[in-house]
Amino acid sequence: MAYDLEKDIYRLLIQEPFFAAVSRHIEKVPCAAIPTAGVRILDDGRFELMYNQKFFEALKDRHRIGILKHEFYHLIFEHCFQRSPDGKKISQRWNIATDMSINCHIKNEIPTDKERDGIEGVLPESFGYEDGLSAEAYYKKLEKDGKGGGGKCNGQHQQGEGEGDGEPCDCGNMDSHDNWGEGEMSGELKELAKERLREALREGMKEAEKNSNGYGNMPADVRKQIVRFVNGTVDWKAVLRQFIGQSQRSSRVNTVKRINRRFPYIHAGKKTLRNANIAISIDQSGSVSD
């Protein structure tokens, strides 16, 4: 039988309701073309998790849960919303930095021995760095120390001769970031995706508050970061503009004013009508400012 992701999602629901609630807002798609797993933002602002069934099937139970949480953290920390600081679509140094900012919170839940497990979740300590920093902070350290960039890994994660020469350092092959930074994400799409993320995190917080261990082993500073993001403001005009643009529906009607390409002057032609039926309500109570 093929690997069933829903079983692990159910275990996550029992163990850590916060992540299970966030998971409900992410479409899961089995994909043999991806070697491990990866999360991305779709063109309509929704989130998608692609995963290799054979890869997950071969993992230990705790590692499957850990990798799922790792992918959800990429969304929570907004890693999918931006390119590498060097402007590249795919940057090994940025990949390593984002993974370190997550893995330091789930050390005991991810595979970290490449020789034994076949994959490696890279940790800050393997580069001599402290835990708990942001991806941007780790990136600056890697760049300053010349680590995690182009060039074969020599055991010390040092960069090869010249910027970007040789093969990429093979550190942290636990998941794929290949779909990050494809095309230019418009400001409207980014705001729409962030609003979807706020809703997912808001629902996760509600579920977590119903259980004494609803957040699992999530550090307190990460919880505070989530609260700040959920309570943040959003550009409602950009979200509304994007929503209306994606809500258009089309219908086709017959018209003699347009020539039928297949049966000219025998049958009527076709005309496409595009309409967006939008209802907008405005709260004008005294609790809302101008």
- Dihedral sign from CA coordinates of 93, 193, 4, 64: positive
- Dihedral sign from CA coordinates of 86, 91, 97, 99: positive
Asked if residues 67 and 174 have their Cβ atoms less than 8 Å apart, the reply is yes
Residue 164 pLDDT: 42
What's the mean pLDDT when you consider all of the chain?
A: 81
**Element of type H or E holding 253:** strand 249-259
Two tokens, residue 130: 């402290």
CA dist 278 and 275 (Å) reads 9
Of 67-71, 229-233, 267-271, where does the model show the most confidence? 67-71
- pLDDT tens string 136-187: 999 999 999 988 875 545 444 444 433 443 344 556 667 888 767 555 667 7
Q: Does the pLDDT value for residue 115 go beyond 60?
A: no
- pLDDT tens string 26-54: 999 999 888 899 999 888 888 999 999 99
Q: Does the pLDDT value for residue 259 go beyond 70?
A: yes
Question: Which pLDDT band, with edges at 50, 70 and 90, does 84 fall under?
Answer: confident
Mean pLDDT of the 235-249 span: 69
CA dist 78 and 102 (Å) reads 12
More reliable by pLDDT, 260 or 239: 260
Strand partners, 270: 254
Mean pLDDT of the 81-89 span: 71
DSSP 79: G
Residue 43 pLDDT: 83
